[in-house]
Chains A and B, each alone.
Chain A
Amino acid sequence: MISVKPLLEVEDLTVEYATDAGPVRAVDHVSLDLTPGEFVGIVGESGCGKSTLLFAIARLLSPSCDVVGGSVRLHGRDLLGMDEEALREIRWRDYSVVMQSAMNALNPVLTVGAQLEDTIAAHESMPARSAQERSASLLRLVGIDPLHLKSYPHQLSGGMRQRAMIAMALIFTPDLVIMDEPTSALDVVAQRSLMLEIKELQRQIGFAALFVTHDMSLVSHFSDRLAVMYAGQIVELGDTRELFRDPKHPYTSALMASFPSITGPKEVLQGIPGSPPDLLHPPAGCRFHPRCPLVEPRFRIEEPPLTTVGNTLVRCHRYGRDH
């Protein structure tokens, strides 16, 4: 693993929203590597900064939001320092994005075909005929009848729209596909089949995936590694199986206790007490301490570092040097 040259290197990435009350740090010194073909899941509650992290990596942040530190490298090239012109060249070719709700992410007044073809035209000059054929074969790849090239987004079902967007993301068979909760707008059955499809496409095409979700159970079978985010920070990062077998951070355990297991014995689901922290005034010390069942007085004052425990990185005092 270590010998493979990373595809994506995120280092100390820090992102802040400018608000009237002052800057809100949504992503706080996040470091993350992706090797080619790897599937990395990022999980966390709403507002933990996971989507902001994705959009910062993809250079798609809204104007009110800025990267204030750190770097993002793709194929060793600095993404954050690139100007819009240069960036446009590699957008979609080297990395593509799948958004949360395809209903909102597809332009309602253009046909699916037109939206596939304008993407092709933006990066390659090819006759309209071959662009159409390419679009048709992409739809076939995700199991949609090419007839729907002439359909408008509102004429497709939720699952079809999401698959059309995935087809769009694969136009140039990029090395990296960034996915922001691509299944959260679907029902559970459609979610499952879409996940299987994404995994199968990944096997065929070999792209690396950065997959954000709030639903830990969803990625459990699909991701190679998992990063758990809390209040803008990564609190645990490690091999997915390892993480599920032996969650180290109390927040990870709490997240896992809050969804039912299909095979295990019946248990009362436990929510996580309290609510996500206010990022404008994050708690001192360990950010999870107000909700942590294992809190000790010292944890309220000192911020825990990210510590290596076996193959896992954990941000918890209980794994600190003096424990």
Chain B
Amino acid sequence: MRYLVRRLEFFVVTLWAALTLNFILPRLLPGGPEVALLTRFHGRIQPATIKSLEVALGIRNDQNAIQQYLSYMGNMLRGDFGVSLGFYPQRVSHVIMLALPWTLGLVGTATLIAFLLGTLIGILGAWRRGGILDSVLPPIFVVTSAFPYFWIGLICILVFAITLGWFPQAFGNSSEVTSELSWTFISDVLWHSILPAFTIVLTSIGGWILTMRNNMITTLAEDYIKMARAKGLSPTRIMFQYAARNAILPNLVGFAMSLGFVISGALLVEIVFNYPGLGTFLLQAVKNEDFSLMQTLFLLITVAVLLAVMVADFLTAWLDPRTRERG
């Protein structure tokens, strides 16, 4: 319990630091959103218009830094991220809610599949070291993981979408299917997600296989494995409860980190497949100098990573009794 409270404290402090940095960084940049708009209109804009823009965008240059900081923190805690400059007059939270489910669904699921599948292959490979599975799968997936994923994505589109025509080339769903909770819509979304998900799994699974396999091999040499064999336990119990459960511990934090980065989307995969997720929106935000959206997305990524690390800590505490007391 003490351990959990400590992890929670750590989370709160880092979150505060991230929020504060997020406040300071854009203010270190010269100019501001209104200046950016001004240059976009090549200065052909009335000072009065700038004033009204400032009001509309919530830019309060009359406040000092402390006042700005306090109202910023208040807004952040209330979940008020302001108005998107690129999708004006949409609110940033609205824009993000449009994209978030797509990214979570696609990248989240794909990351989870890659981790679970990679871990399982790593376990089985190490268990029968030098066996057929061990000499075929790890090398293949390590090679595929070495390719850049946008390249794999493009090849997938070329082969499976254009040449064979099995899967759609782009987007999250077909335009003729209405967004509703029906089987047609769900299967359409799944159908669209297969190629990008496959791309993500193919390019990230190698790392999981390698690390899990290595951890497993180290663990299998431990005395408690020998002891488990001596006790006459069943091979499956030795493999999972004695070996894998110990071997997976170092991988949990890495997995949590990668889950955290799900929010930033597999940026290039989403762009290659024109997927309506956060990655695509982040690119849009950068193109449009949409500071409020960018800032919120970066904040979201930070929070997601922090949350994921905290969850990993809890998970580790649950799986490894030794960490519970270390605190």
Known: A104-B222, A152-B321. A91 touches B241 (CB 8 A): no
Q: Which residues of A contact B234 (CB under 8 A)?
A: 88, 122
Known: A91-B231, A122-B232. A106 touches B224 (CB 8 A): yes
Q: Which residue of A lies closest to B233 (CB)?
A: A122
Min CB gap B284→A, angstroms = 46
Q: Which residue of A lies closest to B224 (CB)?
A: A107
Q: Which residue of B lies closest to A119 (CB)?
A: B231
- Asked whether B6 is an interface residue with its Cβ less than 8 Å from the other chain, the reply is no
Known: A88-B232, A118-B233, A152-B321. A106 touches B246 (CB 8 A): no
- Asked whether A105 is an interface residue with its Cβ less than 8 Å from the other chain, the reply is yes
- Asked whether A126 is an interface residue with its Cβ less than 8 Å from the other chain, the reply is no
Partner of A92, one of B226, B230, B241: B230
Known: A88-B232, A122-B232, A122-B234. A108 touches B320 (CB 8 A): yes
User: Which of A34-42, A94-102, A252-260, A292-300 lines the interface with chain B?
Assistant: A94-102
Q: Which residues of A contact B227 (CB under 8 A)?
A: 97, 99, 105-107
Known: A62-B221, A105-B223. A110 touches B230 (CB 8 A): no
Q: Which residues of A contact B242 (CB under 8 A)?
A: 107, 110
Q: Which residues of B contact A88 (CB under 8 A)?
A: 232, 234
Min CB gap B324→A, angstroms = 9
Interface residues of B in 242-261 (CB under 8 A from A): 242, 245-246
- Asked whether B51 is an interface residue with its Cβ less than 8 Å from the other chain, the reply is no
Q: Which residues of B contact A101 (CB under 8 A)?
A: 223
Number of interface residues of B (CB under 8 A): 22
- Asked whether A89 is an interface residue with its Cβ less than 8 Å from the other chain, the reply is yes
Interface contact B232-A123, CB-CB below 8 Å = yes
- Asked whether A268 is an interface residue with its Cβ less than 8 Å from the other chain, the reply is no
User: Interface of chain B, helix or strand or loop or mixed?
Assistant: helix
Q: Which residue of B lies closest to A108 (CB)?
A: B322
Please report the C-alpha to C-alpha distance between residue A91 and residue B228 in the assembled complex, in whole angstroms.
10
Known: A107-B241, A152-B321. A122 touches B231 (CB 8 A): yes
Chain A 80-93 interface mask (CB, 8 Å, partner B; 1/0): 00000001111111
- Asked whether A218 is an interface residue with its Cβ less than 8 Å from the other chain, the reply is no
Q: Which residues of B contact A144 (CB under 8 A)?
A: none
Interface contact A119-B245, CB-CB below 8 Å = no
- Asked whether A188 is an interface residue with its Cβ less than 8 Å from the other chain, the reply is no
- Asked whether B237 is an interface residue with its Cβ less than 8 Å from the other chain, the reply is yes
Q: Which residues of A contact B229 (CB under 8 A)?
A: 60, 91
Please report the C-alpha to C-alpha distance between residue A96 and residue B246 in the assembled complex, in whole angstroms.
24
Chain B 197-238 interface mask (CB, 8 Å, partner A; 1/0): 000000000000000000000000111101111111110010
Chain A 117-157 interface mask (CB, 8 Å, partner B; 1/0): 01100110000000000000000000000000000101100
Q: Which residues of B contact A55 (CB under 8 A)?
A: 226
- Asked whether B97 is an interface residue with its Cβ less than 8 Å from the other chain, the reply is no
Partner of B223, one of A58, A93, A99, A118: A99
Interface contact A91-B230, CB-CB below 8 Å = yes
- Asked whether A109 is an interface residue with its Cβ less than 8 Å from the other chain, the reply is yes
Partner of B322, one of A60, A87, A123, A154: A154
Partner of A109, one of B233, B237, B320: B320
Interface contact A89-B232, CB-CB below 8 Å = yes
Interface contact A60-B321, CB-CB below 8 Å = no
Interface contact A92-B320, CB-CB below 8 Å = no
Q: Which residues of B contact A104 (CB under 8 A)?
A: 222-224
Please report the C-alpha to C-alpha distance between residue A33 and residue B319 in the assembled complex, in whole angstroms.
44
Interface contact B230-A96, CB-CB below 8 Å = yes
Please report the C-alpha to C-alpha distance between residue A155 and residue B322 in the assembled complex, in whole angstroms.
9
Q: Which residues of B contact A60 (CB under 8 A)?
A: 226, 229-230
Interface contact A91-B232, CB-CB below 8 Å = yes
Q: Which residues of A contact B322 (CB under 8 A)?
A: 108, 152, 154
Interface contact B241-A93, CB-CB below 8 Å = no
By a beta-carbon cutoff of 8 Å, the part of chain B in contact with chain A is 221-224, 226-234, 237, 241-242, 245-246, 319-322
